[in-house]
Chains A and B, each alone.
Chain A
Amino acid sequence: MDKKINLPITEEISQDLHIGDFCFLTGEMYVARDAAHKRLMELIAEGKELPVDLKGATVYYMGPSPAREGRPIGSAGPTTSSRMDFAAPTLLDMGLKAMVGKGKRTPEVLDAVVRNKATYFAAIGGAGALLSERIKESEIVCYEDLGTEAIRRIRVEDFPVVVVADCHGGNLYESAVKEYKRSANSH
């Protein structure tokens, strides 16, 4: 089912989302990947304040190519989410409400999605040019020294994603693959 969603994602919105829903997101989200997550976790371990407000936030696991003149951002498809699994449960427990990336997550992350009534979306990996066009603004929030890995705030319009893990415990990567697995006797 196709759904248009205005960010931020709330508990009510999360409860209304189910695996396999195609969603078009409009609003603001953060962009962060490996090195930024490492820094955020170090700050948390030291009990320091974070440079981002996690309450109700959506994070997009992405590192863009540089923007050409007149454009907000370059190619901007998702990176593999599992590399952020070490940080995701902590960030979800601190208020993060949605993640956009690609690929499987650990049971610990999926449990945290359910526990916090959050949602894990996939954007289509390798569709960086198409996704770039749905990003209307981009600014660096912090960690500019990390280059493509800096934390950004972006504004998206009708950004296409699919719900791959919902707060009801659904996991599309498990269920869809089973549905289309050719049985041994149909070879």
Chain B
Amino acid sequence: MREINVKEITSAIKEMCITVNHDLSDDMKDALKKARETEVSPVGQKVLSQLEENLVIAKEKTIPICQDTGMAVVFLEVGQEVHFTGGAIEEAINEGVRQGYVEGYLRKSVVGDPIERVNTKDNTPAVIHYSIVPGEKVKITLAPKGFGSENMSRIFMLKPAQGIEGVKEAIRTAVSDAGPNACPPMVVGVGVGGTFEKAALLAKQALTDPVGLKTEKPAWACALEEEMLSEINGSGIGPAGLGGSTTALSVNVRSFATHIAGLPVAVNICCHVNRHTSKVL
């Protein structure tokens, strides 16, 4: 058994909130650079150049990449040999978010109640997903989610007979409806299978996969990613929705077993500021 004081979780999350909002992961930066080089529209190239310049300014001057610094989504994979000490884990996570957003000059975008809508003023609570895994480590993944793109995400409960064509149509519909609102070029997270909530969770997790990841997934999923990326980039929506050949940087699919009667498909759309970072304690 390994003891971990929850203070370590708090300080890791605080630091991750701040860094992830000022510096994108290398795979996202590379994808943006590649997009600028291949974009056919002059307006689209101009937009992509602005986005690259924005990343440089954000990092050098410590200004968040996007003013929507998101609602904090935390995935906590806890080794079953771990024993947390020093307090409640949920409160430790929220304390990390609180410190990160307050001390890091990040925007507080969370309201405590969806109808009464009073801002909590410290961006808590986070949305937390726990899983228990073998071992004695703790892996924290933080993915703050902006709502311009979150609002354009969809879930579809398809019939099994609709098969892969139904999945493609679901992705097409979500991306086309999202259009300029989701701040393209976007990353499209797709969850196929499971139950209603499992599909949504898979789609969210898919957004944390590196651009172009092709391991640990079935052949149909890899083929679907390639085909849909090409098709989405032929839609004409383009960077910022102003027309062009770069509408998505990546389509990331995750799948899971499902019921004989169903084919759930969730499409979680993220803008080009697809922030995610992981740390193992």
Interface positions of A (Cβ within 8 A of B)? 20, 22, 35, 62-68, 71, 74-77, 79-80, 82, 102-104, 122, 124-130, 132-133, 146-149, 160, 162, 164, 172-173, 175-182, 187
Contact = CB atoms under 8 A, between A and B. Distances in A.
B211 interface: no
B109 to A, nearest CB: 7
Interface residue tally of chain B, by bracket?
35 or more
A150 B117 CA distance: 14
Give the dominant DSSP class at B's interface. loop
B151 A74 contact: no
B181 to A, nearest CB: 4
Contact of B272 (A126, A130, A147): A126
Contacts of B108: 147-148
Given A80-B151, A103-B180, A124 B240 contact: yes
Contacts of A172: 242-243
A172 B43 CA distance: 12
Given A133-B61, A178-B236, 7 more contacts: A62-B67, A63-B107, A65-B106, A65-B107, A66-B105, A126-B65, A160-B50
Given A75-B65, A148-B109, A129 B54 contact: yes
Contact of A75 (B63, B121, B235): B63
Given A75-B66, A80-B151, A180-B245, A148 B107 contact: yes
A182 B236 contact: yes
Interface in B231-259: 234-238, 240-245
A103 B50 contact: no
B242 A126 contact: no
Contact of B67 (A71, A77, A133): A77
B179 interface: yes
